[in-house]
Structure 1
Amino acid sequence: MRAVVAVVLFVSALHAGIWGLLQEKIPAPEFKGILPSLSYTPFEPHHVTDLTTDPQKIRADLKTLSTTTRAVRAYSSGEGNELVPAIANEFGMKVTVAGWINKDPDRNKREMDAAIELAKRNSNVNGIFVGNETIYRGDQKVDELIELIKKVKSSVNVPVSTGEIWNIWLEHPELASSVDFIAAHILPYWEGFSDTQAVDQAMIIYQKLRDAFPGKRIVIAEFGWPSAGYNLKDAIPGPFRQAVTLRNFVSRAESIGMEFNIVEAIDQPWKFVEGGVGPYWGIYTAAREPKFAWTGPVVNPDYWKLATIALLVGILLSLPILRLSQPTARQTFLLAATANGVGAWVATVFAFWNGHYFVFGSAFALTLGMILLVPLVLIAMARIEEIAAVAFGKPPRRLLTKARIAEVTTEAGPTYFPKVSIHIPAYYEPVDMLKQTLDALARLNYPNYECVVIINNTPDPAFWQPIQDHCRALGERFKFINAEKVQGFKAGALRIAMDRTAVDAEIIGILDADYVVEPDWLRDLVPAFNDPRVGLVQAPQEHRDGDLSIMHYIMNGEYAGFFDIGMVQRNEFNGIIVHGTMCLIRRAAMDMAGGWSSDTICEDSDLGLAIQELGWVTHYTNGRYGQGLLPDTYEAFKKQRHRWAYGGFQIVKKHWRRFLPGASRLTPDQKREYSLGWLNWLGAESLGVVVALLNLIWVPIVAFADIAIPDKILTLPIIAAFIVSLVHFLSMYRLRVAIKPGQMLGAMIAAMSVQWTVSRAVAQGLITEHLAFARTSKGGLSRMSIEFQAFWEAVIAALLLIGAGVLIATNSYKQITEIYIYAAVLVLQSLPFLAAVAIAILELSRINSFQFWRDSAIRSAELIGLRPVALPTSAGSSQPVASEVRREVTN
């Protein structure tokens, strides 16, 4: 324990050290004076009335700004702006008033009249702006605006101009001739220049204006840099970038005597209409707090607050490590590092929330995104924990390996042979397949067992008569039941089998109709029941037809992962999932749990959990004691997975109350294993589909409305979770599943391909209580459906890829990084759907056959000369005939 605590503390100290190393302290020119002017807007569109009737808000603003600037620039003469000159005068501040000009002549007249009146009544008015970017917006023609300027000039004794983007002045020298001074807007961000280029660009443009209009007074009426929002090409917003850029600009401007105005004084959260950066141009926050200091190195004043949050969350998430049974140092290190990584992400989310303004839409999107990301992060943490346990933890201690089985057998003694009753339910099963199962049972190397075969709801004698005859031929051990109109699906048939079970049978064995068992199945595993606490022993499923096709080959690899990875790890906490076949159950435990229940379609897993809730001990072996058959088709594979997922969700709804404190004898570890198991399987697949569909719906909003682009704190975790899932799959298979790399890759595709199927099952579980039990077609009786088995997956995958393409195409000008990341997320989210499409296509194609690949290899070898080609000749010659050629090719 001391070593574990030491590693946790070491990782926390390392985390703190990383925060210390990453703290930014950027040098920048110092400015100790007073800024000449700041843009100031005293209103918000939704609160105009309050501001115009409450001058105290404006007074408080100007009092704050008076310590920073000598003057403010307004943009209108109404909506509270008419109060600014008089209040500014109280603090010795100058004001440049303005009239807002658009296409409404009546409004324009009111604005100009108001501006003129303000200039006449207030001695601290140092100029008038007739409109702001009016030519740029196309609200006025140049000659029309010149006429307005002339009217205002004739009415006042202060300088008059108009605010325009710098290139407008160069393109319209007649406009420059009509004003008292040139008021140029230079905003390098909107031109896509980086923050390191911004000041140089401003100086170059300033010089161009001076060269173009020698002797004319030139004022840079707007220069600024946003502290947050999205990039525009090389222009990246940020608090450090804003501080350094403005300090550099002010220093350079002061050195050459430039007149300038900084846009703007205070953040305007309502300016989302100007894009993601609109609210963030102020040097003060909306709470009227300065964003940065004008002297000393540029730092984040909240940096160590964020570091503290990250460390506290990291330590808190590391505490469960202390509950692990003898974790190794490397295992502890990986888990603690993961916990601290999540802590750093939480601090980043907090910083984002604290440093941004949200309208309803963006706040809703962020809140919904975080709600979906929390389980995603928990799933990723659970998978990393499994990686740590398997790769760096101690070997399994409870697993019934060959050595452990031998030990248990010795402990049980040579005479421990309790009677076992093996139950085989069958419903329209192929006769030859079921006969193979019964023949294998007849060869069991165990002295005390019986076999109850129950064929249910199968009136066709062709399916049950031969089995009845075969049971008679095999002897008294084999009991045959033909039950018609059985209620309750498979569980109903198993209840009938229990009624016909020998009274002295202590152990109930469950076997699917397609399983051929090894002779030592019972001899090896039954001795575990010598411990009276043991209620259940489970062996894994295995399949003997994995070489039937490429599709079956990869399906077999996908099944193996569950039995060699997940079940082994769950067994360490006495929390295995019972999966019916190859299962041995103590009869007393089954009776205590209420026997087979028909209120779920996964009666086996339901019974297993009920037995564990009563405190019984369960055991698992990963040794293969039987081989069954894989689903005949991809359709059958998906139907089986749908049944498992739907039944699993039924079990969640049925048993969740038993997970409450004191409601059952489940241990905390068992509750944790089941909860994370459900989250990791049902939750992960459903969450993946929900997030993909929501992202798909959001695409047109991002692409065409130009608002609410998902930030990196929402999109990067999705990419990170995908990478964790990929690493988890590959590492777990490499460490625990004995299959070749090609089959492992195919297994990964097969596992991804059922995401839509599982999510549909969970959705149906939310709105329905019961679905009919769907038998998995095996043994070659089922025909392949004429319908394409991945139609909806193909539709969703296509929409996701089209969405990614639309995002990239519409982002070609702005080149916003978040949009490219968002597009990458859509591509990643399309992969599970594409996996389903790939398998559905594979099933229908020639390449699904192993023979196709063998023949292709032979033909390729012949083409490159590695294998001689024998040519047929006419009869009587010494050359081989056609039949010999065919024989040669196939050898």
Structure 2
Amino acid sequence: MTAPSVTDRFQSMSFAPYGRDTNPDKGEATTEAQIRADVEAVAPYTRAVRTYASTGNLDLVAKIAAEKGLKTTVGAWLDEDEDRNAREIANAIDAAKKNSNVVGIVVGNESILRAERTPEQLIETIRRVKRETNVPVTTGETWDVWLDHPELVSAVDYIAAHMLPYWEGIPPEQVVDHVISIYDRLRAAYPGKRIVIAEFGWPSQGYNRDNAMPGEVEQAKIIREFAARADALGIEYNLIEAFDAPWKSFEGSVGQYWGVLDADRELKFPLSGPITPSTYTATAAIALLLGIAFALPVFRFARLTMTQATVMVGAGALVGAWIATVTDHWLTHYVVGGNKVTFIVSLVLLVPLVVVMLYRVEELATIAFGRSPRRLLRRADAVAPSRTPKVSIHIPAYKEPPEMLKQTLDGVARLNWPNFECLVIINNTPDPAFWEPIEAYCRELGDRFKFINLPKVEGFKAGALRQAMLQTAPDAEIIGIIDADYVVDPNWLMELVPSFEDPTVGIVQAPQDHRDANRSLLHEAMNTEYAGFFDIGMVQRNEHDAIVVHGTMCLMRRAAMVEAGDWSSDTICEDTDLGLAIVERGWKSHYTNERYGWGLLPDDFASFKKQRHRWAYGGMQIIKKHWRRMLPNGGTRLTPAQRREFSIGWVSWLGSESIGALVAVLSLLWVPLVLGLGIAVPQRILTVPILFCFGIYVLHFIALYRLRVATTPVRMLGAAFAAMAVQFTVAKAVYDSFRYKDLAFARTAKGSWLADAARAFPALPEAIIGAGLLVAAISLRMTNWHAVVEVDLFAFALAVQSLPFLAAAGIGWLEGSPLNLFSTWASLRARALALLPGRVPQADVVPEKIVS
């Protein structure tokens, strides 16, 4: 920007000679050395100074200012401490008598505005001071107080009017005209009375107030323009203030930033020439260098396309710009006390979210603009096996409904593979009603099916699978694992076992899918949510040979399992643990997104949450067990790409969910301090990343589901709700992993078909937190009387943070509602159609077709 130059010094400046770490509000006094240094600092820029008090060594200011040829307006602070008031007045009078450069005494500062003095009391004090001195005496008040109290005008020698347009919400471009018009109003109201604009200024940092926008450039332009206009019109003025005051954090977000010089006594803007932010060049350089640094690793990616690289580099540049802005904020703001703690904690929590955001942008760019996957096993590429190695299929079962398990065995019996055995391992199930029908059914199915009953086995599911390995046929080369509720495709082994012809392949994983999604809207949502992981995340991880092994629809080379140490009970996710151990030893893994098996979904939302809690808790156990092996010298055969995928994958899932929930709870706890104590809300550099990460999450979810998952927009919306609904569950699992060393394996209830059974509300904590966040957001928005942008951003961030919690509460409510049933929607649709003119009511509508 441009503005008139300051050809001479400013007329006067408010002068508070306190060191950067001194807080006069705590009774800390300044020193003579500090006063001398500060007078030296301001002398080149002003012809006079104004003080606000005369105790705490401030009575020395006039004498020291005189040595530099500066005139002084002496202040006498008045408050409810009458003893101090007496000392203030006595010192001010004494300074005026002893120093010829004192040109006035200001008795009290906004005493009427703050209701510390009545006009009558203040007038009496002013008259007493006037009787004891020969210099002009006045008081400092805002311009409206002077207009409202003509009796005060009569008592003073001149009007010392405070005009601070920021507090009136005036836009920067209108400030100077606004002040001149107020000056003209005072002159018209009190003709012939001397008028001094005793306070005028503009903050260089802080939040907006209505249309008033603080800023370094705005401050420079306004002050330079005002000084030129005031000099041209012969208006006397005093700028507030000489120095920034770091201790004034109690005066809102702008209290520390009114100085013409900063707290280090450096001029904040040039007095002539163009006006630019003082740190612009350095901040831009940091942003550019960080952007380049974040961009360089992108070009190590194989098979990179131009558009893919552009998106990833752009995301890195945005993060670089954000870091540069944060650095600039830290260096140019007075981050003290509780604000420092809040700032640092916020950054610590935001960094993982930013890392996850970059990972999601990378995945989005790769899938949307990159090349097609190369390692994915496709049914169309399946070749006839050259040999038929023996496969041993293991089906662990714990208190599973017999009829459901019979369907699983029927599917295995139909396998189009000549050389296999099937071991059914019933563990820790004493009730014969669960296992006797299965034992009999295995006999019916023939010698290939072997029934194993383990009444007391340690180690949960892993312990049962270890026992199964001991009873596996000696000539079995491949172990297949399926859950007790899975019905497999007859061609499962025929199309996937040939991948083991490569002697380095240790794992072939097929996705999970489900055959009961049409039970309810909730089940449809859960099924689509699962599909996103298997059709998006697993496909991309497979490109780096870093898939997450799941203990169903999985084939493992027996030799690889033995080398990796067999099934371990160190974690409750024994499948992922073993799969990672196999890959760490250099065995290859392959993945197909073709469906070769269909299981049953969790019976209800509580079971869905319990399953996700088990996965997340087990994931934390795996991190604790394997994290050292992710290091470059971890003693494994993992490639850098594999280490990266496993590490960032854990952070993306467990880290982002748990930190997101923690940030939401901390934000909610902060709101009462904002509403009750008036504490400032977080800066926009801390709230904007939350909103930006949420926007990336939404874009990532929608785009990748549309590109990779065969579903409809309605089902995709349901999947989004289901995914958000378990954020708190995942966060709790992460928290539990630090509280409890070993939680018991929790079976996921499936196949009970008790859709109408009475259940407790499954999302009470989420409902409370979500409602709290939403109410807090609304309250902040409704009480944002001055349209502060940071308040609105914080309120919006709270509303966004409430969504996962409200999603859980909404699903919990939906589960017990008739709206969860497809038949209800079919009936509503039929009724709506019947109301249309010329339509014949339809009967017996198939719910699945309506949903499709």
**Residues 424, 453 of structure 1: 8 Å contact kept:** yes
CA shift, 1:486, in A, is: 1.3
Q: 1:426 aligns with which of 397, 402, 420?
A: 397
Of the structure 1 ranges 761-770 and 96-105, higher mean CA displacement relative to structure 2 is found in: 96-105
Q: 2:8 aligns with which of 33, 56, 80?
A: 33
- Cα distance in 2 for residues equivalent to 1:259 and 1:798: 55
- Cα distance in 2 for residues equivalent to 1:530 and 1:377: 42
Partner of 2:475: 504
**Residues 512, 595 of structure 2: 8 Å contact kept:** yes
Partner of 1:10: none
AA at the equivalent of 1:556: N
AA at the equivalent of 1:356: H
- Cα distance in 1 for residues equivalent to 2:271 and 2:382: 75
CA shift, 1:52, in A, is: 5.2
Correspondence list, 1:566-577, <5 A: 566-577=537-548
AA at the equivalent of 1:86: K
In the alignment, structure 2 segments of 5+ residues that lack a partner are none
CA shift, 1:56, in A, is: 2.2
Q: Deviations over 1:562-615 (max 9, x none)?
A: 000000000000100001100000111100111001111100000000111111
* Cα distance change of structure 1 residues 256 and 539 upon mapping to structure 2, 3 Å threshold: same
Of the structure 1 ranges 567-576 and 430-439, higher mean CA displacement relative to structure 2 is found in: 430-439
Q: 1:543 aligns with which of 496, 510, 514?
A: 514
1:588 paired with 2:559, answer yes
Partner of 2:288: 311
Correspondence list, 1:703-852, <5 A: 703-780=675-752, 784=757, 786-812=759-785, 814-852=786-824
Correspondence list, 1:411-560, <5 A: 414-560=385-531
Q: Deviations over 1:296-338 (max 9, x none)?
A: 1211132111111001111111121122112111110000011
AA at the equivalent of 2:783: T
CA shift, 1:869, in A, is: 5.3
Q: 2:611 aligns with which of 636, 640, 651?
A: 640
**Residues 538, 584 of structure 1: 8 Å contact kept:** yes
* Cα distance change of structure 1 residues 51 and 581 upon mapping to structure 2, 3 Å threshold: closer
Partner of 1:681: 653
SS in 2 for 1:276: helix
CA shift, 1:103, in A, is: 2.2
Partner of 1:238: 215
AA at the equivalent of 2:769: I
AA at the equivalent of 1:229: G
CA shift, 1:170, in A, is: 1.2
* Ranges of 4+ aligned residues in structure 1 off by more than 6 Å: 885-891
Partner of 2:368: 391
Partner of 1:631: 602
- Cα distance in 2 for residues equivalent to 1:697 and 1:638: 25
- Cα distance in 1 for residues equivalent to 2:165 and 2:324: 31
- Cα distance in 1 for residues equivalent to 2:476 and 2:798: 56
AA at the equivalent of 2:359: A
CA shift, 1:53, in A, is: 6.7
Q: Deviations over 1:215-244 (max 9, x none)?
A: 111100000001111111111111111111
SS in 2 for 1:491: helix
In the alignment, structure 1 segments of 5+ residues that lack a partner are 1-25, 871-884
- Cα distance in 2 for residues equivalent to 1:112 and 1:95: 16
Provide the aligned C-alpha RMSD in A: 1.8
CA shift, 1:359, in A, is: 2.1
* Cα distance change of structure 1 residues 886 and 491 upon mapping to structure 2, 3 Å threshold: closer
Q: What is the TM-score with the length of structure 1 in the denominator?
A: 0.93
AA at the equivalent of 1:464: W
CA shift, 1:865, in A, is: 3.0
Partner of 1:19: none
* Cα distance change of structure 1 residues 424 and 356 upon mapping to structure 2, 3 Å threshold: same
CA shift, 1:782, in A, is: 5.8
Partner of 1:61: 38
SS in 2 for 1:279: coil
SS in 1 for 2:199: strand
**Residues 361, 708 of structure 1: 8 Å contact kept:** no
- Cα distance in 2 for residues equivalent to 1:39 and 1:294: 18
* Cα distance change of structure 1 residues 132 and 675 upon mapping to structure 2, 3 Å threshold: same
SS in 1 for 2:49: strand
- Cα distance in 1 for residues equivalent to 2:27 and 2:313: 52
* Cα distance change of structure 1 residues 624 and 52 upon mapping to structure 2, 3 Å threshold: closer
1:359 paired with 2:332, answer no
Aligned identity (percent) is: 55
Give the length in aligned residue pairs. Answer: 845
SS in 1 for 2:516: coil
- Cα distance in 2 for residues equivalent to 1:57 and 1:122: 20
- Cα distance in 1 for residues equivalent to 2:526 and 2:795: 31
- Cα distance in 1 for residues equivalent to 2:685 and 2:798: 16
- Cα distance in 2 for residues equivalent to 1:566 and 1:560: 10
Correspondence list, 1:139-178, <5 A: 139-178=116-155
**Residues 310, 340 of structure 1: 8 Å contact kept:** yes
CA shift, 1:704, in A, is: 2.3
Partner of 2:379: 402
**Residues 309, 347 of structure 1: 8 Å contact kept:** yes
- Cα distance in 1 for residues equivalent to 2:730 and 2:513: 22
Q: Deviations over 1:411-458 (max 9, x none)?
A: xxx432111100000111111111111111111111111000111111
- Cα distance in 1 for residues equivalent to 2:190 and 2:27: 44
- Cα distance in 1 for residues equivalent to 2:389 and 2:66: 101
- Cα distance in 1 for residues equivalent to 2:609 and 2:83: 69
**Residues 428, 463 of structure 1: 8 Å contact kept:** yes
SS in 2 for 1:60: helix
**Residues 510, 583 of structure 1: 8 Å contact kept:** yes
SS in 2 for 1:685: helix
CA shift, 1:46, in A, is: 4.3
Correspondence list, 1:122-141, <5 A: 122-141=99-118
AA at the equivalent of 1:493: A
- Cα distance in 1 for residues equivalent to 2:397 and 2:845: 43
Partner of 2:17: 42
Q: Deviations over 1:266-302 (max 9, x none)?
A: 0011111211111100010001111111211211132
- Cα distance in 1 for residues equivalent to 2:547 and 2:360: 17
**Residues 51, 57 of structure 1: 8 Å contact kept:** no
CA shift, 1:673, in A, is: 0.5
Partner of 2:673: 701
**Residues 830, 841 of structure 2: 8 Å contact kept:** no
CA shift, 1:886, in A, is: 8.1
- Cα distance in 2 for residues equivalent to 1:222 and 1:738: 67
AA at the equivalent of 1:521: W
AA at the equivalent of 2:497: V
- Cα distance in 1 for residues equivalent to 2:364 and 2:763: 32
- Cα distance in 1 for residues equivalent to 2:111 and 2:288: 51
- Cα distance in 1 for residues equivalent to 2:575 and 2:844: 51
AA at the equivalent of 2:6: F
